[in-house]
């Protein structure tokens, strides 16, 4: 287990100084971790705007996903919808906290995986289909672009894309574990 002290100056103009334990069973490079942490620190300066931006982009572009947010989306008619701003804000900030925790756990893949599996189980319990998780990337990417503008470098985008897919894949494992648990419970009830 190697502990690294690092200080990096990124194209985004921020300097991050922290220590981390390099103990990954993933393919994250130390540069990706640093880039993700730095860009996240910049986003956190506009936490609420960024989080709400993700969901506004998602709800505008992914019509089928609107039904997953009954407390947030209200329909005026079949085509037009309005958003309950307070519910959207609370959900966006909850998601921002979750992503922030995941970023903090990049140096502890066991803790990161445990957290992401729990998030996956929660999504399963909320009846979120696995296939919709990946639809979040364009909205996340769009919110990074809108928030960070020119400082959202190609390197940062690639690091976040990799991290996003990692998070989704581990969440799917959690969703599958929750589904298997439910199937096992149903089978036990049927055999009793």
Per residue, what are the HEC states of the chain? Answer: CEEEEEEEECCCCCEEEEEEEECCCCCCCHHHHHHHHHHHHHHHHHHHHHHHHHHHHHHHHCHHHHHHCCCCEEECCCCCEEECHHHHHHHHHHHHHHHHHHHHHHHCHHHHHHHHHHHHHHHHHCCCCHHHHHHHHHHHHHHHHHHHHHHCCHHHHHHHHHHHHHHHHHHHHHHHHHHHHHHHHHHHHHHC
Name the token pair of 80: 């037009």
The residues, ordered by sequence, that sit 6+ positions from 118 with a Cβ below 8 Å of its Cβ are: 174
- Confidence at residue 98, expressed as pLDDT on a 0 to 100 scale: 96
With a cut of 90, say whether residue 11 has pLDDT above it: no
Residue of higher predicted confidence among 116 and 190: 116
> pLDDT (tens digit, 9 = 90+) per residue, 34-44?
999 999 999 99
| pLDDT for the residue 78 | 65
What's residue 147's pLDDT? 93
Query: Which pLDDT score, from 0 to 100, does residue 17 have?
Result: 36
pLDDT at 76: 72
**Residues 124-172 pLDDT 10s:** 999 999 988 999 999 999 999 999 999 999 999 999 999 999 999 999 9
Q: Say what the pLDDT of residue 19 is.
A: 34
Q: Which residue has the higher pLDDT, 10 or 65?
A: 65
Query: pLDDT tens-digit profile of 56-104?
Result: 999 988 888 888 898 999 887 666 888 899 999 999 999 999 999 999 9
For the stretch 93-96, contacts whose Cβ atoms lie closer than 8 Å and that sit 24 or more positions apart, written own/partner, are 93/47, 93/48, 93/51, 95/51, 95/54, 95/55, 96/44, 96/47, 96/48, 96/50, 96/51
């Amino acid at each position: 287990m190697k502990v690294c002290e690092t200080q990096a100056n990124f194209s985004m103009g921020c300097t991050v100084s922290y220590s981390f334990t390099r103990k990954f069973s993933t393919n994250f490079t130390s540069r990706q971790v640093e880039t993700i942490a730095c860009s996240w620190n910049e986003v956190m300066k506009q936490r609420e705007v960024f989080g709400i931006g993700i969901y506004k982009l998602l709800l505008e572009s992914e019509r089928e996903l609107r039904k997953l947010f009954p407390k947030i989306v209200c329909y005026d008619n079949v085509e037009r919808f309005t958003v309950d701003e307070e519910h959207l804000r609370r959900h966006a900030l909850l998601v921002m906290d979750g992503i922030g925790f995941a970023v903090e756990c990049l140096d502890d893949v066991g803790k990161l995986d445990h957290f992401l599996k729990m998030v996956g189980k929660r999504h399963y319990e909320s009846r979120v289909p696995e296939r919709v998780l990946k639809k979040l990337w364009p909205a996340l990417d769009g919110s990074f672009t809108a928030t960070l503008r020119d400082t959202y470098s190609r390197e940062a985008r690639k690091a976040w894309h990799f991290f996003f897919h990692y998070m989704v894949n581990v969440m799917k494992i959690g969703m599958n574990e929750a589904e298997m648990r439910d199937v096992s419970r149903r089978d036990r009830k049927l055999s009793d």
